[in-house]
Every structure is written in structure tokens, then in C-alpha cells.
Amino acid sequence: MPLRDLLPGLFAIALWALNIIVIKVGVTEMPPLMLTTLRFMLVAVLLVPFHPVARHQLPFLLLLSLTFGSMHFALMIIGLEQAEAGTGALLVQMGTPFATLLAVIFLRERLGLKRLVGLLMSFAGVAILAGGPSLPAPLPTALLLTSAMGWAISQLLIKRGPNIAPMALAGWVALFTVPQVALGSWWFEDHQWQIIQSAGIKGWGAVVYTAVMSSIVAYGLWFGLLRRHDVNRVVPMTLLVPVLAVILGILLLGDGTDVYKLGGGGMVVAGVGLIVIRWRRRRPEPDTARS
């Protein structure tokens, strides 16, 4: 990949890794569902007016708002409130093994030995994480893994669903997600209006960053790369997200390090790498000596 494309790709990866840190900081001033509501409201306002969709696509977008907006993103923010940034990012990375399993079960895709080893390594990595002190309590762990499953289900829906432009998809999914997470915030959280009035740079900065930098800028750069390069050349770069999140969590939030996080996290990343990276045999060079 030429440097002019590699650098924007790495910048998008850095934005997504920093997004984990920003969420951790943001929920210190705003409750997670309220932050999620404001984030999706901002995304919808910025994208929906400029990216119309066909009426027959609305039911699909509504379904995707349930799996991606509420199940993935909202549960991720709730789980991250009670988890270390790096460990949370590693658990959410399990979306790739989950998506592979779902594709095998429902789409009858062939697993293959390499992907099977990758699956086993990923789940073994989570088992190792479970033995260390960095794994959060059972409830936030379950929420983060459910968030990963929501991401996996969403990928299968997108794969089988109508062809919708990425920014249109992001905007309309955000619009349909707003009432779901707003209802959750009204039911489970308190003092929303007072929090809006008293929130400072941490809370509002998290809303703006997660909406603009993570959802619009990073995905805009990423989809541009996917249009210009083969998917198998671009997607493996996402393996850097949990690695950077672990490093940023240590540097910026004071997260701890232990052999469980390093060993288990390394196995998760390596397992996901075996799933997403495809090796192609190089074609033999022509024998110029005989020509």
C-alpha cells in the first residue's frame, strides 16, 4: 500500500483507539446511555440531511439500528464505564471471531484449519484474560462480549442487506437508534437536564469526538481505502486498534499491565489475525534464462 494511503489508514486506526479512551473519560461526566443518545443525535444531524435513502431500505436500517446502534455501541459504552480501556477493546475485538462463527452457522461459509485455529486462539485469550485482575466484573464483561456479538450480527446483516452508501447507513442508523437509547437513558438514568447544564469539556468533548472523529472522519477515511484497495489488504490493519488502546490506556489512564493482559490480549489479537489475514501464494517469476 503506498504511503499516501497507509498514513490515512493508520490515522483512522489511531482515531478508533483513542475513541476508547475518550469514552472512558466522557462517562465520568455523563452517564453512558445519555452520552450515546447525544452522540447519535449529532451523527444524524450531520449526515441524514445530505444522504437520503429509499423508502424500502428503512426497515433494514431500523433492524441495523437495533444490532449496531443499541446492541453494539450502547452496550460497549456501558461496559467500558466499568472496564479498563485496553481490556474492553480486547473484548470488543471478539466481534470478528463471533462474525466468523455466525457466517459458518447461517451462511454456510467454510471454516478452514487456519480460521479454526484463530477462533480457538481468540477464545483461549479471553479465558486467559479471565484469570487476571484486569478483567471487569461479570456484568460489564458480559455487556462487552454482547456488544461484540452485536457488531458481528451487524456485519452479516450488512453483507446480506441492500447496498447503501456508508455515510447514509451511518446517519440513518444513528437516527433510528436515538429513540431507543434515549428511552433507555430515561428509564435507567437520572438528572439528564442537570447533567447537560453542568457537563464540561470531558462530557461534551466525548460527544463530539465519538460522533465526528470516530464515526464520520475515521469511517470516511476507511471506506476510501476500501474503495481503492483489496479488503484483505486493509482489514488486517484493524488489529492495531486494541494494541493501541492498551498502550493509550496505560499512558493516559494509568491502566495496569500484567501477564494475563499481555498474554491473553496477545492471543486474542493473534487469533483475530489468523481469521482476517489471507495469504496468497506468490506467482513464480518467469524463467528469463530460458527465454
pLDDT value for 285 = 45
Instruction: Look at 285 and 102; give whichever has higher pLDDT.
Output: 102
Cell numbers placing 57: 431500505
Name the burial class of residue 175, with classes exposed (0-12), middle (13-18) and buried (19+) by CB atoms within 10 angstroms of its CB: buried
- Note the pLDDT of residue 281: 56
Give residue-wise pLDDT tens across range 136-150: 788 899 999 999 999
Query: Residue 150: its pLDDT value, please?
Result: 94
Confidence of residue 40 (pLDDT cuts 50, 70, 90): very high
Alpha helices in 48-165 (DSSP H): 58-64, 75-80, 85-92, 95-106, 113-130, 138-160
The more confident residue out of 291 and 128 is 128
- Say what the pTM is: 0.86
Cell numbers representing residue 188 in the block: 435507567
* Interval 112-141 mean pLDDT: 85
pLDDT in tens, 175-205: 999 999 999 999 999 999 999 999 899 999 9
The tally of CA atoms less than 13 A away on the side-chain side of residue 113 is 0
Which class for 240: exposed (0-12), middle (13-18), buried (19 or more C-beta within 10 A)?
middle
- b/e per residue 154-165 (b: at least 16 CB within 10 A): bbbebeeeeebe
The number of residues in the chain equals 291
pLDDT of residue 133: 74
CB neighbour class for 5 (10 Å; exposed up to 12, middle 13-18, buried from 19): middle
Residue 152 has pLDDT above 70, yes or no: yes
Residue 259: is it exposed, middle or buried by C-beta count within 10 angstroms (0-12/13-18/19+)?
exposed
